[in-house]
Structures are given as C-alpha cells and as structure tokens.
Amino acid sequence: MTTTNPLLDFTDLPRFDTLQPAHVKPAIESLLAAARALVEQLTADSTPATWNDFAEPLASGLEPLGRAWGVVGHMHSVNDLPAWRAAYNDMLPEVSRFYAELGQNLTIFNKYKALRSSAEFDTLSSAKKRVVDNEMRDFRLSGAELPEDQKPRFQAIMEEISQLSAKFSENLLDATNAFAEVITDPALLAGLPDDALEAAKAAAAAARAGVDGWRFSLHAPSYGPLMQYADNRPLRARFYRAYATRAAEFTDGSNQPEWDNTPLIKRMLELRIEDAQMLGFNNFAEVSLSAKMADSPAQVLAFLRELAAKARPFAEKDITELRAFARDELGIADFQPWDAAYVSEKLLQKRYAFSEQEVKQYFTEPKVLGGLFQVIERLFNVKVKPDTAPVWHDDVRFYRLETPAGDLVGQFYLDLYARETKRGGAWMDEARARRRLANGIQKPVAYLNCNFSRPPGMVDGKMRPATFTHDEVMTLFHETGHGLHHLLTRGEDLGVSGIHGVEWDAVELPSQFMENYCWEWRVIKEMSAHVDTGAPLPRELFDKMLAARNFQSGMMALRQIEFSLFDMLIHADFDPQSGVTVLDILNAVRAEVAVLIPPEWHRFPNSFSHIFGGGYGAGYFSYKWAEVLSADAYAAFEEAGDPFDAVVGKRFLDEILAVGGTRPALESFIAFRGRPPSVDALLRHNGMHAV
C-alpha cells in the first residue's frame, strides 16, 4: 500500500507531487486501525509500564497517524479546494474520536502513573521525565479519570468542537472569497500606489470571465492597501463593512446564511464550559491555563489590565492626534474606523516625511530572504541552502539548514503568497519533528506560511519581484522564529522536541524575538535594494522609520489587550444561557480599554480565528505575555552592545531554542537571562515608559 498511497510513505518528505484527496480516507483508516491495534497491545497486562516497553513505543507508534493527518490538515489550510475540504471533513470525526478515546484510556493513564511512581522514573533523563509528567497532565485534561459512563459524552464534546472549529474557518474563508468589486473608473482609485493597482489589474484579468478594470477583494494584500491609501471615503467604508461583517448574520454584501459563525461561537463556548465542568474546573480558561505559564485567569486579567493602564495615556494621545489631523488637515470632521488606516498613513507621512509605500520599494523578495537567512546564519551558526522536495503549489520553495560542516539540521517549506484556496494570516506548522531513531536522528521539517502579494510579473518590459512592507518583513521574521524553535531543537523525545511541550504563552518568545532584527540598521542595509535602482534603503529613511517605530504604539497595544481580555472573559466569566452575548462582553471590554470604538454592526468575534478556528482559546493573551519575554531576551543583546554577540547568541540557542519543551519555559528563560523576566524592556521598546 505504501507504494500506491503517498500518505502511507514515511520514508522521507511528504509526497505532495502525487498526493490526491482520494488518498485520505484509505490511508487514515489504515493508520487508525494500526494505532488502535498498537494501543491494544501496549495496554495488555503483559506489557511492562516502562519507558522502553511502553512510553516510547506508544509515542513512536502513533507518530505515523499524526504525520499523515498533519499533511491532510496542511492541505486543508493551503489548498482548500472542494475535494480537499470534503476529504478532510470526512475523516475529521474519526480522527477526533480516536484521540478523544486515547485521551480517556484509563489503562494507558494508569501505566503512565505506574511509570511515574516506579524506581525507573528517577533514572530517566529530565526530558523523559517531563514527557511523562506532561502525558499525565494531558490525560487528566482529556477525561481519563472521568467515570466510564461520562466518557462517551466527553468524547462527543471533543469531536463536535473539532468539527465546529473547522467549519468556523471554512465559513470565514468562503465569506472572504465571496466579496470583491471590479472598479472600472480610475478616478475612484485615486491615492492607491502603482503596485496595488497593478495587482488589482492582474486580479481583474485573471477573473473567470476576464474583466477589464481593477478587482479588489477582502484578502489582506488587496484589502490592506485600499484601506490605507484610497482617497475615496465611500469605497473605504464599503470595504470596511464587508470585512467587518464576514461570516456574520447580515445578508448584505456577499454573506450567505450558512456562513454565519454566530451560532458556532455560542455552541463552541457551551461545549467548552461543559468540558471544563466535567473535568472539575470552574471554567474553560482554567483548563487552558493548566498547560501554560500563567497560574490563573485572575492573574492574566490583572496582567492585561496593568498593561492597559500603562498604555492608555499613550493611546489617548494617539487617537486625539488622529482625530485632530483628520479634521484639520483632511477635512474629515466625523472620523470613523474606516478612516483610521488612511488618516494614520497621511499623519505618518506628514510627521516623519515618508510613507510605507516608499519603504516597500526597498524590500524586494530576493533581498529580504537573503537578509533573513544571513541573520539566521550569523546568530545560530548554521547555513541556509536551497533544497528540492515535492511541493503542493508552484509558489512553494524548500530549504535546508546545515551545520558549518555540512550536516543536515532540518528543512522547511516556504509558502509566501496569498491564494483564494489558502486560509488567511501567517503561521508555522510542523511536517516532522526531531527524534532519536534506532539508526540515528530524524531531522525536523517545518511549514512556513504567509499571505503576501505575489510578484507582479512583467512591468515595463522587465520582471519585477514581489515587494514587502516593513510589517510584512516582520511577519516573515516572526514565523521564521517559530520555525527555528522547531528546527534548532536538540530534543530527542517527541513529546518535548521543538515546540512540543512548550507552554503556549511562551511559544511566541522566539518569534517575537526575531522581529527585533527588522529594526537593526546592519540587517536592513544588507537586505534592502530598491526594486528599480537596486540601491539600499537610505540611512536617512531608516532613521525616519526608527523615529516612527512607536507611532500609535499605545493604540496598537490596547487593541491587542482588547482582544486578549475578550478572549479571557468569554472563557472565564460567561454563561451562554444567561442572555448575555459575546458581543455584550466585547462591548464591555471596549468600554473599559478601547479608544476607538467600531460601529455596533461590527462582528469581530465571527472572524476571530485564533480562538475559534485555532488553538488560542483562552490563550490569546500569550502574545502580550510573550512580548515581555521576547523584549527582555533581546535586551540581553542590547546590553552586550551587539545584536549578533556570539556569546549571547549561543546562550539563546542553548537555553531557549535547543531545549524546546524539555523543561519549564520559565526555567529556560532564567537560564538564559540569569533572572526572571521584567516588563521594563517591553515598555522601553514600545516607547511607553511607566507614567
């Protein structure tokens, strides 16, 4: 079967060149059957509760199912054609059921408990001990200790949540794809930069019937420039409403009733509460935090509100300046949210005498990738080289990390561009984790995914590369940080290799850490080249960027805190049966912390994929929590006087990246920094010193 079904071939990299949706069902069914047989074998009384007889064979034996289903999930995210969506959704209940059953298997749990209390446990490495402790925690969270008559209900909850999460993401993608406008009057597009117009022109020409005009959609590379640069205010307002009401109950725009995520949100929250109460927790937030650094919802809420108090004076100053500039300079007396990006760009240009569009011309794709790879090489003493592998789309490239001696460290796929079949945002995922095998080390492989504008192709008789905004460059560095956490691990046990076993509120540390290099002149000088002249970004322009670095940082901080508070409160202090809605909670949060309030018809929760379509439920605060860690970590390089200080870089590699989840994240941070984390560096980096 392995010769005919690529999902069952684990000899090397995924065989994306031959993989088809029809392969999913037979492969996953076969792997599920093998996994169940393995569980039956390892739960037999004759199998000793030891690491070599039980724990390691269980992890290794279940890896093929995880890897194959990971490929299927990846295709669902990056190539969401009807056949792939159907194949994924067909097997999702079966896979969810298996893992729910596994998590509730009391015999397996008891074997872990027996291993934990045995004399052998004291002889295990610290990494293996952490694997055992994590497994025991996860079994408790999966309902292993529930009475047998309650386990079917708990299992049904897990399956339904998985299905609702997948449906949430599909609805959002469908609603995003459904809205587009083809504009034929160039006067309506005044203010938009040439590259945005070129992309819109190409999008119109590529439309099914072929259209003469400029096509704009709700995908970020199209929507973002329109909101930031279009002088036409009604056009901005129209697109803002379409974007803000995606996957909601409204029938205007291109929404369909079946895409409304409102009932899915309510049902998901009901199920999460039931899940928590069955496990003996007061709420789902407590469940979520049981595997994180933060101790309690109260601690998280206090942390967020403390940051909000520090950021609010700066945010109030930001919004006051924005409204005054809109009124006095642009004639916009009734400033609205759909004006925010546009007015901010105009204010930025006037105050700092540059625009994001001007900067974008210097960040060509070849130079940015070259600069990124050079940072990786200088910091962590590895080489980044092009490599070959089967890929899922012509856009995708493949690379390898090597030691200076030429030994393979890991490999990664890079999928940079937006597509209608690809979910929005940017993310890293694993294709394969590092672990020790009988014949050596299995090397890790990662997926790095972004949603940038693709190269425009021929312009004025010559090929033009893709160009990135500075924010997009930071996004690329951010996701690469996640990738490095996965690829540079030295872990040899699956449960704690790479990002496995890392507390969720610490997993953003390496990614946010890498963003700092986008503000280093040595890096910028080497990775910039004007798309037409090839000249590097001028130091004068970079100095303006630095001066503007904290432009509206107060507003941006409060926006992230708003999302984080909303997430924590709906999971910690919300009863879906009380008559209070998630929108009521969101409005209360905005009244507490926001300085720019959206219209009442704004349906932000319906597109909040992080918490309803991803793994950040009661965990969105992790971004702010990890910002404290990452800013403080980068401060170690600042204190050394060199962003590439070899001693500090090696310590960051040794104590943060290489250890992965083999020990608690706080211990890793203290081992690197020599003390617990401090918020001071974050406030300094954001220009928000304590007031």
Catalytic residue positions, numbered: 479
Interior/surface letters 250-289, b for 16+ CB within 10 angstroms, e for the rest: eeebbbeeebbbbebbeebbebbbebbebbebebbbbbbb
Measure the CA angle with vertex 631, ends 425 and 511; round to 5°: 30
- 434 near 489, Cβ under 8 Å? yes
Within 13 Å, how many C-alpha atoms sit on residue 581's CB side?
10
> Which residues, in sequence order, are bridge partners of residue 364?
467
Biggest CA pair distance of the chain: 81
At which residue do the structure tokens 């943060």 appear?
656
Q: Are strands 445-452 and 408-417 parallel, antiparallel or unpaired?
A: parallel
- How many whole angstroms separate alpha carbon 24 and alpha carbon 390? 18
User: Quick one: three-class SS letters along 216-265?
Assistant: EECCHHHHHHHHHHCCCHHHHHHHHHHHHCCCCCCCCCCCCHHHCCHHHH
Return phi, psi of residue 483, to 5°. Answer: -60, -40
Tell the burial category of 684 from Cβ atoms under 10 Å away from its Cβ (0-12, 13-18, 19+): middle
Q: Give which of 159, 166, 73, 668 is closest to 430, Cα–Cα.
A: 73
- How many whole angstroms separate alpha carbon 562 and alpha carbon 262? 20
Return phi, psi of residue 265, to 5°. Answer: -60, -50
User: By three-state DSSP, how is residue 446 classified?
Assistant: strand
- 31 near 64, Cβ under 8 Å? yes
- 619 near 506, Cβ under 8 Å? no
Helices (H) and strands (E) in the chain, counts: 26, 11
Q: Give which of 162, 179, 182, 337 is closest to 247, Cα–Cα.
A: 179
**E-strand spans in 548-618?**
none
Q: Give which of 331, 313, 656 is closest to 503, Cα–Cα.
A: 656
- How many whole angstroms separate alpha carbon 89 and alpha carbon 76? 9
- 41 near 47, Cβ under 8 Å? yes
SS3 content of the chain, % helix, strand, coil (to 5): 60, 10, 35
Enumerate residues 6+ apart whose C-beta is below 8 A from 462.
none
Crossing angle of helices 297-330 and 622-640, in 10° steps, is: 80
- Residues making up the chain, counted from first to last: 691
> Which residues, in sequence order, are bridge partners of residue 104?
none
- How many whole angstroms separate alpha carbon 129 and alpha carbon 140? 17
Enumerate residues 6+ apart whose C-beta is below 8 A from 331.
none
DSSP secondary structure of 458-497: EETTEEE--B--HHHHHHHHHHHHHHHHHHS----SGGGS
- Please give the span between the terminal C-alpha atoms of the chain, in angstroms, as a whole number: 66
Tell the burial category of 47 from Cβ atoms under 10 Å away from its Cβ (0-12, 13-18, 19+): middle
Crossing angle of helices 126-141 and 82-103, in 10° steps, is: 100
- How many whole angstroms separate alpha carbon 560 and alpha carbon 39? 43
